């Protein structure tokens, strides 16, 4: 595995790793595997198994670039995949970081699902997230990235961990309001209600009844967590772990594992909730008035001091819009994002 770097690793008790999930939804072998397990038309729903959940247009490269550019304290990046590796990733990193880059390691699903082989293959990020703590050699403190999340400004360890506390970029949300909105406009898979807020609300089943009136609405940011929490919790509650990992596609029975960590740590006084709005720049292609939306977001992007950015569903943008957005990211990160 690549191991070229000029960054000095932190001491073991200070080490912070990054974990990135990635899939190439255009890979014929992967597509054939997914299609064998589709049962209820899950691929017709973007929230479940639609193509946009798996299509890659290079997001993982600028995710890696942003960590190298703005978070040099990261000890190692673990890239979690299903028998896939982003093409030319070494060449990309060497070209843009000729003085050395953060070492990375590719971890296959089979490694973290060892002993739960009946749950593979999986096409469900909630299932995979529930087992990231089993990555061999993973540091106690780590930061989880979706591959469409990038750092937009220099960050320090204190932006994620302060003493024994973990920083959570989110806002409190009323459980009653979330349930009302879901009842008024449910997202469905067949006859089963589904939606991201549902995954967050479902997590309240495993918290104190007195604390179930609200939950943390997690947005599109890096998610710092602690490995030992998941190891201890899921070892003590294997039935809870199975709820998530047996589902090959996102399912209404599931919960968000990061939400479980933050709610539990907040109750123990070890979670610092920071409003996410000012810290996140969010971009998702607009189905209507795309040119006007792009102009507005370009101006917003040029002025933002946000720490984090999420560039969601770029595969749904026009080629011109996608190229323009990638150019903005490249300029912000001072890298060449072309993959030769």
What pLDDT is recorded for position 311? 92
User: Does residue 202 lie in a domain region?
Assistant: yes
Q: How many CB atoms lie within 10 A of CB 216?
A: 22
- Token look-up 């673990």 returns 78
Lowest-confidence segment of 120-124, 147-151, 190-194, 214-218 by average pLDDT: 190-194
User: Does residue 252 lie in a domain region?
Assistant: yes
What pLDDT is recorded for position 340? 56
pLDDT at 193 over 70: no
Per DSSP, the three-state class of 118 is: helix
User: Does residue 9 lie in a domain region?
Assistant: no
What pLDDT is recorded for position 7? 42
Secondary structure in 3-state letters for 156-173: CHHHCEECCEEEEEEEEE
User: Does residue 5 lie in a domain region?
Assistant: no
User: Does residue 25 lie in a domain region?
Assistant: yes
Q: What is the domain range of residue 115?
A: 16-333
Tens of pLDDT along 42-94?
Answer: 444 445 444 444 457 789 999 999 999 999 999 999 999 999 999 999 999 99
User: Does residue 338 lie in a domain region?
Assistant: no
What pLDDT is recorded for position 58? 85
Q: How many CB atoms lie within 10 A of CB 103?
A: 17
Tens of pLDDT along 227-257?
Answer: 999 999 999 999 999 999 999 988 889 999 9
Which pairs from 314-317 meet CB under 8 Å and 24+ separation? 314/57, 314/59, 314/148, 314/285, 315/51, 315/52, 315/55, 315/56, 315/57, 316/52, 316/285, 317/285, 317/290
Pairing of strands 280-283, 214-218: unpaired
User: Does residue 90 lie in a domain region?
Assistant: yes
More confident residue, 196 or 124: 124
CATH code of the domain in which 259 resides: 3.90.550
- Work out the average pLDDT over 202-222: 92
In our burial notation (b when 16+ CB lie closer than 10 A, e otherwise), range 310-320 reads bbbbbbbbeee
Number of domains making up the chain: 1
């Amino acid at each position: 595995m690549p191991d070229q770097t000029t960054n000095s690793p932190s001491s073991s008790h200070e080490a912070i790793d990054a974990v990135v999930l990635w899939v190439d939804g255009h890979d014929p072998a992967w597509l054939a595997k997914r299609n064998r397990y589709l049962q209820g038309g899950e691929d017709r729903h973007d929230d479940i198994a639609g193509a946009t959940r798996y299509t890659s247009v290079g997001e993982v490269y600028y995710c890696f670039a942003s960590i190298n550019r703005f978070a040099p304290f990261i000890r190692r990046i673990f890239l979690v995949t299903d028998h896939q590796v982003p093409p030319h990733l070494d060449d990309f990193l060497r070209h843009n970081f000729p003085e050395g880059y953060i070492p990375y390691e590719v971890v296959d699903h089979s490694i973290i699902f060892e002993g739960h082989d009946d749950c593979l293959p999986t096409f469900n990020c909630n299932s995979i997230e529930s087992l990231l703590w089993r990555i061999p050699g993973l540091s106690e403190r780590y930061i989880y990235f979706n591959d469409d999340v990038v750092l937009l400004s220099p960050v320090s360890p204190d932006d994620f961990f302060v003493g024994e506390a973990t920083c959570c970029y989110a806002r409190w949300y009323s459980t009653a309001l979330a349930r009302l909105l879901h009842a008024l406009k449910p997202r469905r898979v067949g006859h089963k209600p589904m939606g991201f807020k549902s995954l967050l609300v479902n997590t309240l089943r495993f918290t104190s009844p007195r604390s179930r009136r609200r939950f943390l609405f997690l947005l599109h940011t890096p998610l710092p967590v602690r490995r030992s929490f998941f190891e201890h919790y899921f070892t003590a509650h294997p039935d809870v772990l199975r709820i998530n990992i047996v589902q090959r596609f996102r399912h209404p029975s599931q919960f968000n594992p990061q939400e479980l960590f933050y709610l539990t740590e907040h109750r123990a006084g070890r979670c610092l909730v920071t409003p996410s709005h000012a810290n996140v720049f969010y971009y998702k292609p607009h189905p209507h008035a795309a040119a006007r939306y792009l102009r507005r977001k370009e101006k917003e992007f040029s002025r933002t001091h946000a720490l984090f950015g999420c560039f969601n569903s770029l595969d749904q943008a026009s080629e011109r819009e996608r190229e323009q957005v990638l150019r903005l990211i490249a300029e912000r990160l001072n890298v060449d994002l072309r993959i030769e």
